[in-house]
Amino acid sequence: MKILLLLVMTTVLNKPLIIKSPAFSNNEWIPVKYTCVGSNINPALAITDIPNDTKSLAIIVDDPDAPNGTFVHWVMWNVPVISMIDENSAPGIQGKNGKGENKYFGPCPPTGTHHYNFKVYALDAKLILPLGANKNVLLKAMDGHILASGSLIGLFKK
């Protein structure tokens, strides 16, 4: 009985967040509006299956296809537990992106089609980080606090 209960608890705890956007579907094209050649604003993100004991959300958007290694487009933590991140909004604390700015920087590949990972994490705590913390600092701070995570992949080519 104890093994069955542990198996059920593990399955529930490992249930992924579902991340969607009204602007694009998973592995589909990101509209120009949300890129560096458009309005350079973040798309809306809908988040479902958030665990009940979540205290905050964190977001990392990056491009693993960048020529000099993964490029970070957005870092944000201490987002309230909400089911929608509105377009052109920053409900949490923004950290440094790959350009050294504390804001969203839209997809902007130098050549070819790139994949942009919009990752959302449900955390069991609010994080205490210095303003301007980067992706690596956020990942280290989240270690041991992630209840669930999910991602949405968008494509863009100039």
Tens digits of residue pLDDT in 100-110: 999 999 999 99
What is the rounded CA–CA span in Å between residue 129 and residue 138?
8
Is residue 112 scored above 60 in pLDDT?
yes
Single-letter amino acid, residue 78: N
Q: How many CB atoms lie within 10 A of CB 152?
A: 25
Per-residue model confidence (pLDDT) at position 66: 95
- Got the DSSP string for 101-147? -SS------SSS-EEEEEEEEEESS-----TT--HHHHHHHHTTTEE
Percent of the chain whose predicted confidence (pLDDT) is above 70: 91
Specify the length of the chain in residues: 158
| Residue 116 and residue 155 in contact, taking contact as beta carbons nearer than 8 Å | yes
3-state secondary structure of 18: strand
For tokens 């798309």, name the residue.
43
Task: Return the pLDDT at 85.
Answer: 98
Over residues 69-86, the mean pLDDT reads 98
The confidence score (pLDDT) of residue 4 equals: 38
30-71 confidence digits (pLDDT tens): 999 999 999 999 999 999 999 999 999 999 999 999 999 999
pLDDT at position 13 is 53
Q: Phi and psi at residue 47, in whole multiples of 5°?
A: -125, 125
* pLDDT over 60 (residue 9): no
pLDDT tens for residues 123-149?
999 999 999 899 999 999 999 999 999
Average pLDDT of span 62-90: 97
3: confidence class by pLDDT, cuts 50, 70, 90: very low
Contact call for residues 41 and 34 (beta carbons, < 8 A): yes
Of residues 145 and 15, more confidence is placed in 145
Query: Where does 14-94 have alpha helices with state H?
Result: none
pTM of full prediction above 0.85? yes
Specify the amino acid at residue 108: C
What per-residue confidence (pLDDT) applies to 15? 82
User: DSSP assignment, residue 35?
Assistant: S
Rounded-to-integer distance, Cα 85 and Cα 95, Å: 16
